[in-house]
Amino acid sequence: MQVDDLHVAYLRSQIAGEEQGALNALNALAPDQMTPLVTLVYEAFVLATRMWFGPGFTHGEVIRLVAAIRGLSTDDPDFVNPAAAESVIRRALGENAPLPPDPAARITAQFVLLDFLVRAMSLDDDGIDKLLDEARTRADRALAG
């Protein structure tokens, strides 16, 4: 099982906010193709998180980032579970933080955080391509292992 172009197309459309493009890519995926997509999203999220924080970080910075993101959607801040979001960030940065028990909360947090970080870092098309290429390589390695 490997990441293919459709997975990457989906995530690129999602990051660009192209809902129809994301939907088309998602509809073209077979049900058994979700595992590579989840892995690709995770690896892209990990890379974006490490780019954002750099080599050093504090828990306070993680907490403030999550609060800032949730504060942007004050209509429904609970869309992102803060404990789950903080935990996935800390795990992405190499800490042994508890794994959020709810997979949906984990994946939602990864998606929302990835989306925010790509925008906040002002990644252009080349930057997004580079991120997705590296995420794909890492995801394929993880899926092969």
Residues that bind other proteins (CB under 8 A): 59-61, 63-64, 66-67, 70-71, 74, 77-78, 81-83, 86
Residue 53 tokens read as 């924080």
Tell the smallest beta-carbon distance from residue 82 to other proteins (Å): 4
Cβ closer to other proteins: 64 or 119? 64
Cβ closer to other proteins: 98 or 127? 98
Cβ closer to other proteins: 27 or 74? 74
Tell the smallest beta-carbon distance from residue 98 to other proteins (Å): 11
